[in-house]
C-alpha cells in the first residue's frame, strides 16, 4: 500500500503468540498503523486486552477498524458488541479446520473456535475465517524429551498432519487485512505436504544433525503421561483425532498460496528456523 495514512487502525490480539508477533512485524514493516494487544502485555506499546475480560475491550478497540482475533469464546458476545459499538468493520479470525468436523460442537478441540465463528458470522462485522490445520509449532511439545535424551513417546507414529509454519499464517492474515478483496470468506490453510509424526521427527533430526528416536506407546500410557499438562477431555480428543488420521494423509488446499502468493514453507524450513529449541 502506497498511502498508509489511509489504512484503518488494526488491533492485533494475542500479542504474545507467534502468529500475532509475526503479523505485527509485517504491519510495522509496511507502515500499517496497528495496536498490539495481549492478556499479559510484556513489550512497550502493547495494550491490555484479555479476551475473557470485557472490561479490557473498550480501550483496546478505541479507534480500531480491523481486528485480528484469536478464538477465545468466553466473552465473545461482549467482544462483538463492543467492536460494533467502536466502529470496527472487519474481523480476521484465527480459527481451526477442526470446526469442519461433523462433531465440532461437541469436541473440546473445536467447540471454542466454532462458537467464536458463529458469533462473528451472526454479527454485522465482515468476518474472514482463517482455518489452519496443524501448526508446525506443535512439534515443540517434543522438545523436552529430545533435550533430555529420552525417546519421543507417540501413541500414533503413523498419524498424518499438515504442519503450517506460523510465518505463513501471519502472512495470510496480513494479506486479508490489507486487501479488502480477500476478506469476508473462509480459508482452510494447510502446509505443502502431509507428514506422519515419524516423518516430522526424521526431518527434525536432519535439522539437528542427529537421529531422534521415538517409542510407540498405548493411548492410556500417553494420556497418563500427559495428565499433568493436558486436561483429560482434550487428551482424549487429541487421541481420537490422531487415531482417525493414522495412516491417512490429510487433504491439502491451495488457500495459503492464494493469500500469500507463494508455496507454503515446508516443515524442513520450520525445523531449521526452530532447531535451537530442540538442542541441549
pLDDT at 57 over 90: yes
Positive or negative, the Cα torsion across 81, 86, 91, 93? negative
CATH 3.40.50.1000 fits 134-165+191-250+265-280, yes or no: no
List CB contacts of 254: < 8 A, sequence separation 6 or more.
none
pLDDT of residue 77: 98
Q: How far is CA 90 from CA 118, 197, 219, 220, in A?
A: 15, 37, 42, 44
Mean pLDDT of 178-194: 97
List CB contacts of 118: < 8 A, sequence separation 6 or more.
none
- The class that CATH gives domain 4-132 is alpha beta
Mean pLDDT of 238-255: 96
> What is the pTM for the complete model shown?
0.94
Domains 4-132 and 134-165+191-250+265-280 share a fold: yes
Strands (E), 1-89: 9-12, 34-38, 47-48, 64-70
pLDDT at 263 over 90: yes
**What are the boundaries of each domain within the chain?**
4-132, 134-165+191-250+265-280
Query: Max CA-CA distance within the chain?
Result: 57
Position 45 confidence tier, pLDDT thresholds 50, 70, 90 = confident
Residue 242 is given by DSSP the state H
pLDDT of residue 44: 82
* Nearest by Cα to 280 from 149, 124, 131: 149
Amino acid at each position: 500500500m502506497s498511502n498508509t495514512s489511509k489504512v484503518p487502525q488494526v488491533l492485533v490480539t494475542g500479542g504474545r503468540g507467534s502468529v500475532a508477533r509475526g503479523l505485527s512485524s509485517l504491519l510495522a514493516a509496511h507502515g500499517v498503523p496497528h495496536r498490539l494487544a495481549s492478556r499479559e502485555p510484556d513489550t512497550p506499546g502493547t495494550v491490555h486486552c484479555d479476551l475473557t475480560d470485557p472490561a479490557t475491550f473498550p480501550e483496546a478497540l478505541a479507534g480500531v477498524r480491523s481486528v485480528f482475533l484469536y478464538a477465545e469464546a468466553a466473552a465473545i458476545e461482549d467482544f462483538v458488541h463492543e467492536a460494533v459499538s467502536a466502529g470496527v468493520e472487519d474481523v480476521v479470525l484465527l480459527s481451526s479446520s477442526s470446526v469442519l468436523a461433523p462433531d465440532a460442537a461437541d469436541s473440546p478441540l473445536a467447540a471454542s473456535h466454532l462458537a467464536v465463528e458463529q458469533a462473528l458470522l451472526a454479527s454485522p462485522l465482515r468476518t474472514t475465517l482463517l482455518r489452519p490445520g496443524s501448526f508446525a509449532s506443535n512439534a515443540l511439545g517434543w522438545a523436552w524429551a529430545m533435550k533430555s535424551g529420552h525417546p519421543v513417546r507417540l501413541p500414533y507414529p503413523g498419524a498424518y498432519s499438515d504442519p503450517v509454519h506460523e510465518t505463513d499464517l501471519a502472512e495470510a492474515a496480513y494479506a486479508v487485512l490489507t486487501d479488502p478483496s480477500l476478506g469476508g470468506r473462509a480459508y482452510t490453510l494447510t502446509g505443502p505436504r502431509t507428514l506422519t509424526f515419524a516423518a516430522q521427527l526424521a526431518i527434525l533430526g536432519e535439522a539437528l544433525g542427529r537421529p531422534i528416536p521415538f517409542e510407540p506407546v498405548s493411548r492410556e500410557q500417553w494420556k497418563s503421561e500427559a495428565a499433568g499438562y493436558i486436561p483429560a477431555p482434550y487428551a482424549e480428543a487429541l487421541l481420537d483425532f490422531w487415531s482417525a488420521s493414522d495412516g491417512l494423509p490429510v487433504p491439502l488446499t491451495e488457500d495459503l498460496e492464494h493469500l500469500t502468493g507463494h508455496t507454503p514453507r515446508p516443515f524442513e524450513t520450520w525445523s531449521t528456523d526452530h532447531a535451537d529449541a530442540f538442542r541441549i
